[in-house]
A and B are shown apart, each in its own frame.
Chain A
Amino acid sequence: MIYFDNSATTKIDDSVLSTYETATRNFWGNPSSLHNLGLNAYELVESSRKQIADLLNFNPSEVYFTSGGTEGNNWIIKGTAYKKREFGKHIITSSIEHPSVTNTMKQLESLGFEVTYLPVDDTGHIKIADLKKAIRKDTILVSIMAVNNEIGAIQPINEIADVLNDYPSISLHVDAVQAIGKNLEGKFMNDRVDFYTFSGHKFHAPRGIGFIYMKDGKQLEPLLAGGGQEHNFRSGTENTPAIAAMAKAIRLLKDDEEKKTNNILELKTKLLEHLGKLENVHVFSKLEDTFAPHIICFTIDGVRGETIVHTFEKKEIYISTTSACSSKKGLESSTLKAMKVPEKIATSAVRVSLDENNTVSEMNEFIQNLDEIYNHFQILN
């Protein structure tokens, strides 16, 4: 089996799973309980928080646990909108965000907020000039992803931050779900950013756990009201074992990050070089430093994305159409649409997403199969 769908989700790491299991058995007290069982669980949660903060250069007080990326994005956007609604009702985002951002924006629009969706160029990047033009007196939030989940385009977060340095009252949110652990911190970790979203299952932690970064001094209206956990910002009994498992997964992720990323980049280079030799393909992910190392989006022209996915699946090779979240709906990729890629081409797009467990021999095997599939479908052209 070859698993090349790591942007959809990753397989849980064995040692992370064992942390999860041990924590479930031995730290099952409610962290809010006053007795020892509770205190032990509390200590585990707080040690996990500290470890995550240390590894990412945050303060522990800036890390809030969530159920994952979708909650994180919903919370930061809605929580900011609610908190700052007296100051303005205008939000800026891009036209290529993850649905958990885009559809949250739609909900806010129905409540009377105005949202500007910045266009992207034909490489999938927003333009700083467009951002500058979009900023208004009543703008309260800019929400831009660090790495696009469909084609891997890295958005110019540092430049966005520079622009917003002149607008201290506008909050800046960066969805970093696809960016963590890919040796890209210099490109999206910026002091001007007020909020980040992260999701555990994208880096070999269990499903149902994630966290946000909320800069010290910033506030969000809670999405979940209740028992006052997470300093009253996110109620709900802490998911202790998943939190511990995620803390461990981040430690593993950060070990040798540069070396692992270089290996991934080597695989991407190999695939892109090969795709370059084929005539009837379009490739949207480039080998430039404005693209993440682990995502390759391409087409075999004339063949629908699903067809390609299922053909690979028969050979136990797992890839996806452009984004797992929308792939079941048979929609054309929204990022490609925003890039003004013609619909006929966009519906052929598939995504290969790699991680540190993938090997050169897997890529060789993939390429061999790609050739067979490519040649087979040339009868359609």
Chain B
Amino acid sequence: MKYTEIMVRYGELSTKGKNRNSFIGRLHGNVTKVLKDYPELTIQPHRDRLHIQLNGLDAKPIMEKLKNIFGIQTFSLSIRVSKDFEEVKKTAIDMMHEAYEPGMTFKVGTKRSDHDYPLDTNQINLQLGDAICVEFPEIKVDLRKPDIKISVEVRHDGIYLSYLTVKGAGGLPVGTAGKGMLMLSGGIDSPVAGYFALKRGVEIEMVHFFSPPYTSEQALNKAKELTSKLTSFGGSIKFIEVPFAEIQETIKANVPEGYLMTIQRRFMLRLTDMIREQRGGLAIFNGEAVGQVASQTLESMAAINEVTTTPILRPVATMDKTDIIRVAENIDTFNLSIMPFEDCCTVFAPPSPKTKPNMEKTIKFESSLDIDGLIQRSLDNIKITTVEPGDTFMDSKQDEISSLL
């Protein structure tokens, strides 16, 4: 069947009262950005639906892209026909031929915005139902849980029919919840945390600490590549590299081993918070999961968190590692994350960090350091780039490898 449009149903934003227009506007913008390679499409946002006229394009690749866009509950492929009811019947029957398998039940549901149409919704439901029952004598109607639901919409410009409903990504349109900083390490958890932040509509900016020569260019590129993976959910993302070697060296030289980790993390958080302030962010996201490693015990979190009152949101805080990995696989970051490059968290990791750091000691050890100077020198040297969908950073010979194999 030659479909004419994709009808997109909004997710939770239907309930968002006054902000509705800005939500719809943002979703419209995000959809337009993601589908920018298809200028033939006509995208029309309405109060409760978004209509994408295909204008002759194949729906399949477009549907694949829509599946990643947050703020979409479901979408359906539909066909527009004229208001000639015989044509509506014929199309409904064609659809049933495509969808029906023996034993399935069906229902017809009609909405009417063109109230001048001679048939009302009940009449349309009944007449189409009759026509289908004549064509498929075995078929049964089930109004509660049908296997196939034929949706009919009578609009001013024609009548729209659809039966296939695809589940969208849910969540809220990226950007509607404001901006947050994501502390991106390069491991498995932080990209997943970023994904969840995007899902709730947050526009994220990546804060990545790197410590050359203790960490390699490859580790930096890996973090950028992970960022590139996340751009498929909400478009381009700012990537902020924060130099961290001097701070790590200074801490290493001046702080007892058990407190290296805690104090390093406090510096990271301070830096992230200052960058957040400069860039108008409202919250900080990270990939911490309670109890996973020494820095992620509640005691450690408390000792680290003490440097700021900015909300620190930890989307994977209570998830098991296996569940985090499953999400990472679904969003295609897992294989990248497990590539073995040292990141700044592992290079200076003490053999036995305190899992229950003492706050007073933490502050005492820190007080011998030139905190402001260290932070300022790092901030002076941050580098901000924009990662666009499709960017690649790993110096991979994968193409050559594929041709060899």
Contact = CB atoms under 8 A, between A and B. Distances in A.
Contacts of B400: 26
A289 to B, nearest CB: 33
A34 B216 CA distance: 9
A48 interface: yes
Contact of B404 (A22, A36, A39): A22
A251 B404 CA distance: 11
Interface string B59-82: 000000000000000000000000
A201 interface: no
B216 A19 contact: no
A43 B404 contact: no
Contact of B405 (A36, A39, A40, A51): A51
A244 B396 CA distance: 16
A46 to B, nearest CB: 9
B145 interface: no
Contacts of A248: 404-405
Contacts of B84: none
A248 B402 CA distance: 10
B16 interface: no
B339 to A, nearest CB: 9
A47 interface: yes
Contacts of B402: 47
Nearest to A36: B395
Nearest to B216: A34
A47 B216 contact: no
A43 B395 CA distance: 11
Nearest to A22: B404
B401 A19 contact: no
Contact of A48 (B395, B396, B405): B405
B395 A44 contact: no
A317 B397 CA distance: 43
Interface string B371-401: 0000000000000000000000001111011
B208 to A, nearest CB: 20
A139 to B, nearest CB: 36
A19 B400 CA distance: 10
Interface string A220-248: 00000000000000000000000010011
A23 interface: yes
A307 B303 CA distance: 86
A40 B218 CA distance: 12
A47 B405 contact: yes
B332 to A, nearest CB: 16
Interface residues of A, number: 18
B396 A43 contact: yes
A39 B401 contact: no
A19 B404 contact: yes
A200 to B, nearest CB: 14
B219 to A, nearest CB: 11
A43 B405 contact: no
A84 B173 CA distance: 58
A34 B397 CA distance: 16
Contact of A19 (B395, B396, B405): B405
Contacts, number: 32
A168 to B, nearest CB: 25
Contact of A244 (B218, B395, B405): B405
Given A23-B404, A51-B405, A251-B405, A43 B398 contact: yes
A298 to B, nearest CB: 39
B397 A244 contact: no
A51 B405 CA distance: 8
Nearest to B400: A26
Contacts of B401: 43-44, 47, 244
Contacts of A47: 398, 401-402, 405
A358 B289 CA distance: 61
Contacts of A39: 218
Nearest to A247: B405
Interface in B210-240: 216, 218
Contacts of A43: 396-398, 401
Interface in B248-302: none
A364 B263 CA distance: 82
B397 A40 contact: yes
B337 to A, nearest CB: 15
Nearest to A241: B404
A115 B304 CA distance: 62
A34 B405 CA distance: 23
Contacts of A244: 401, 404-405
A366 B243 CA distance: 74
Contacts of A40: 397
Contacts of B398: 43, 47
Interface in A1-25: 19, 22-23
Q: Which of B218, B400, B402, B405 has the most CB of A within 10 A?
A: B405
Contacts of B396: 43
Contacts of A247: 405
A39 B396 CA distance: 9
Contacts of B404: 19, 22-23, 44, 244, 248
Nearest to A47: B401
B215 to A, nearest CB: 12
Interface in B123-154: none
A90 B234 CA distance: 62
Nearest to A18: B404
Contacts of A36: 218, 395
Nearest to B339: A39
Contacts of A44: 397, 401, 404
A53 to B, nearest CB: 13
A27 B397 CA distance: 10
A150 B402 CA distance: 37
A216 to B, nearest CB: 16
A163 to B, nearest CB: 35
Contacts of A48: 405
A47 B396 CA distance: 12
Contacts of B397: 26-27, 40, 43-44
Nearest to A15: B404
B340 to A, nearest CB: 9
Nearest to B397: A40
Contacts of B395: 36
A240 to B, nearest CB: 10
Nearest to B404: A19
Interface string A245-259: 001100100000000
B322 to A, nearest CB: 16
Q: Which 5 A-B pairs have the closest CB atoms?
A: A19-B404, A40-B397, A47-B401, A247-B405, A44-B401
Given A22-B404, A47-B405, A248-B405, 14 more contacts: A19-B405, A26-B397, A34-B216, A39-B218, A40-B397, A43-B401, A44-B397, A44-B401, A47-B398, A47-B401, A47-B402, A51-B405, A244-B405, A248-B404
11 contacts: A22-B404, A26-B397, A27-B397, A36-B218, A44-B401, A44-B404, A47-B398, A48-B405, A51-B405, A244-B401, A247-B405
